[in-house]
Amino acid sequence: MGAVCYYVAAALHSFIACFSLFMQRASSSHHVHRNLTDGFTQIPLDHKVFEIQRPYDVPESARTLQLCKWSAQDVGGYDYSSGVWQFEAQGFVPRDTSGVCVMQIFGASHLRATTLMIRAYKGSLSYYRSPVLAPNIWNRWFKLNVIHDVDASTVKIYIDGIFVHEAAGHGGASHAFKCGVYSQNDASHYMESRWKGIKVFKRK
């Protein structure tokens, strides 16, 4: 009986040790993040450019920006050429909207127009055409964070707080965040995206 208890205790000790190691690795994984805006300062949106429209009897915090067919919104009117900038918002892509860019970083070099495009194709979000960043996004709100380090020439994308992709920058002297719907390859006839909680941050 004593031997059985010894082996059970040893096995339990081994399990606890392995579980503790697993939890340590999980907590340090790149998929687990602190507040993504730590170390950043929120930049007030410029209402001269970013106009808040109807309904006027609903608080601004409760309103949604809705963009349909080849329309987009410059976010805040802030063009930037250096430093580390971050876009944060909640997005919504209705069912059957496909083949469209819903968010981008405008500005690049070498005959490119953009440093980043996040597109919707058949219910998934992708970085340009690939890779797929998130499946099954039709008809649900998702949180999007994009961090652009101009000097390091990197762009990091987070969806619902989870890191999903890092890409190289594409140069350019001036950049701006945009969200909306731009027709791309194999675009659907109906296209729409909705946005709320739009914020812009700059690293301190």
Cβ atoms 95, 193 nearer than 8 A: no
Of 31 and 142, the structure prediction assigns the larger pLDDT to 142
- Residue position matching structure tokens 């106009």: 51
Q: Which two tokens mark 91?
A: 């997005």
For the record, the structure tokens of 18 come out as 């392995």
Q: What are the tens digits of pLDDT across the range 82-121? A: 999 999 999 999 999 999 999 999 999 978 999 999 999 9
pLDDT of residue 66: 65
**Cβ partners under 8 Å of residue 63, min gap 6:** 52, 55, 196
pLDDT at residue 48, as a whole number: 56
SS3 string, 110-127, reads CCCCEEEEEEEECCEEEE
Statement: residue 17 has pLDDT above 80:
no
> Which amino acid is residue 60, in one-letter code?
E
End-to-end CA distance of the chain: 64
CA dist 130 and 118 (Å) reads 10
Give yes or no for residue 24 having a pLDDT over 60: no
Tokens standing for residue 146: 């994009």
Q: pLDDT tier at 70 (50, 70, 90 boundaries)?
A: low
Compute the mean pLDDT over every residue in the chain, rounded to the nearest whole number.
81
Residue 127 and residue 118 in contact, taking contact as beta carbons nearer than 8 Å: yes
Per residue in 129-174, pLDDT (tens digit) is 999 999 999 999 999 999 999 999 999 999 999 999 999 999 999 9
pLDDT band at 78 (very low <50, low <70, confident <90, very high): confident
